[in-house]
Each structure stands twice: as C-alpha cells, then as structure tokens.
C-alpha cells in the first residue's frame, strides 16, 4: 500500500533519479520539454509553471516517494489528461502504477467531476499500455509521428476512460 500527497520540491531529486537515460526520458515525458541530462530543477520548474496541474506523489510509509504523475484538467472541466506517470524502478511490478492511476481517476472523476480522462502512450511502451487497459482505458486513436526521440519519430496512442466506464463494476 502506498499513500498519496502533493508534490514537494524536495521530492524532485529522487524522482529525477528514476529516469536513467534519454530514451527513458522521452518514453516517460514525451513532449513535455524535458531535456537530457534530466535534472530535478526541470521537474520543479515545470510543476511551478503550471498551477492548473495536480501533481500526485505516491509514498512508502516513511514518506519516501515511489510514484509520480500529473492530472491536468481542461479549462471547461470536461476532461483531464494524465501525464508524467512514473514509478521508481525498484518499486515496479508491485501495483504502484495501478494504485497511483486509480488515485488520479478518483481525483478526476470524484473531485474535479470531469466526464473523461485521457492520456498518451508510445506504442513500444507495452507495460504501460497493459496497465491502462487493465484499468479500463480504451484506445481511441493514434496521433502520427508526434515526438522526435533519438532521431526517430514516435507516434502517440491516445487512450481514454469515461466517467460511466469508471463507475462500472470491474474485477
């Protein structure tokens, strides 16, 4: 079980340490504007620059960060986009990814009361796609060649979940 709280600038160093190279940075952060070498200041500055974003940090019992993501509602409050989903490499495969996405969905559907939640994921990121599908997200289309990474253009799979789908009983 992990606990959830907001982001603190002091979390940035440990979160940045989870990103181990430019391919991992691009896979995680896409078009966010982060550059390699990734530094904690880039994360602090990006969060500070966007007061509309909700940043969720998942922590171990002692408060150590183990997961991170953002939820960005649109201006009308109709939809929210999840981004920057990251779990500490040492904590992966233990349900932390599912837990922090569920926390984001509770925030979006219960507190922000949006109608839909969406996200983008690259086709090579099979583990993330499996996670999102397991939580009920559906693929809705491909945005072609959105991201230049390592000299290659990557396309983005857009996935979404509607409030009625989220409220359906699930296994």
Ligand X SMILES: CC(C)(COP(=O)(O)OP(=O)(O)OC[C@H]1O[C@@H](n2cnc3c(N)ncnc32)[C@H](O)[C@@H]1OP(=O)(O)O)[C@@H](O)C(=O)NCCC(=O)NCCS
Q: How far apart are CA 51 and CA 72, in angstroms?
A: 10
96 contacts ligand X (rule: CB under 6 A): yes
| Binding test (CB under 6 A) with ligand X, winner from 128, 157, 159, 161 | 128
Q: Number of helices (H) and strands (E), helices first, in the chain?
A: 6, 7
CA distances from 15 to 2, 88, 133, 135 (A): 16, 7, 25, 24
**Of 56-64, 88-96, 143-151, 155-163: span binding ligand X (CB under 6 A):** 88-96
Give the CA diameter of the chain.
43
* Residue 11 DSSP code: G
Task: Please give the residue whose beta carbon sits closest to ligand X in the complex.
Answer: 97
In angstroms, what is the minimal distance from the CB of 107 to ligand X? 17
32 contacts ligand X (rule: CB under 6 A): no
CA distances from 133 to 16, 57, 127, 137 (A): 27, 22, 10, 5
- Could you tell me if 24 and 85 are in contact, meaning their C-beta atoms sit under 8 angstroms apart? no
Residue closer to ligand X (CB basis): 51 or 150: 150
Exposed (0-12), middle (13-18) or buried (19+): which is 137, by Cβ within 10 Å? buried
125 contacts ligand X (rule: CB under 6 A): yes
Per-residue x/- mask for ligand X, residues 45 to 84, rule CB under 6 A? ----------------------------------------
123 contacts ligand X (rule: CB under 6 A): no
In angstroms, what is the minimal distance from the CB of 98 to ligand X? 4
Q: How far apart are CA 8 and CA 161, in angstroms?
A: 28
| Binding test (CB under 6 A) with ligand X, winner from 11, 27, 103, 161 | 27
In angstroms, what is the minimal distance from the CB of 35 to ligand X? 17
Residues forming contacts to ligand X in the complex (CB under 6 A) are 27-28, 85-87, 92-98, 121, 125, 127-128, 130-131
């Amino acid at each position: 079980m992990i606990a959830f709280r907001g982001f603190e600038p002091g979390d940035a160093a440990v979160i940045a340490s989870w990103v181990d190279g430019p391919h991992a940075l691009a896979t995680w952060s896409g078009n966010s504007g982060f550059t390699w070498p990734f530094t904690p200041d880039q994360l602090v500055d990006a969060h500070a620059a966007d007061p509309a974003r909700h940043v969720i940090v998942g922590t171990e019992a002692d408060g150590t960060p183990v997961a991170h993501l953002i939820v960005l509602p649109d201006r009308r409050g109709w939809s929210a986009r999840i981004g920057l989903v990251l779990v500490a490499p040492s904590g992966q495969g233990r349900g932390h990814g599912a837990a922090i996405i569920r926390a984001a969905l509770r925030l979006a559907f219960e507190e922000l009361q949006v109608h839909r939640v969406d996200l983008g994921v690259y086709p090579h990121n099979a583990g993330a796609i499996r996670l999102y599908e397991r939580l009920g997200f559906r693929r809705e289309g491909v945005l072609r060649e959105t991201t230049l990474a390592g000299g290659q253009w990557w396309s983005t799979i857009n996935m979404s979940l509607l409030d009625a789908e989220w409220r359906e009983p699930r296994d």
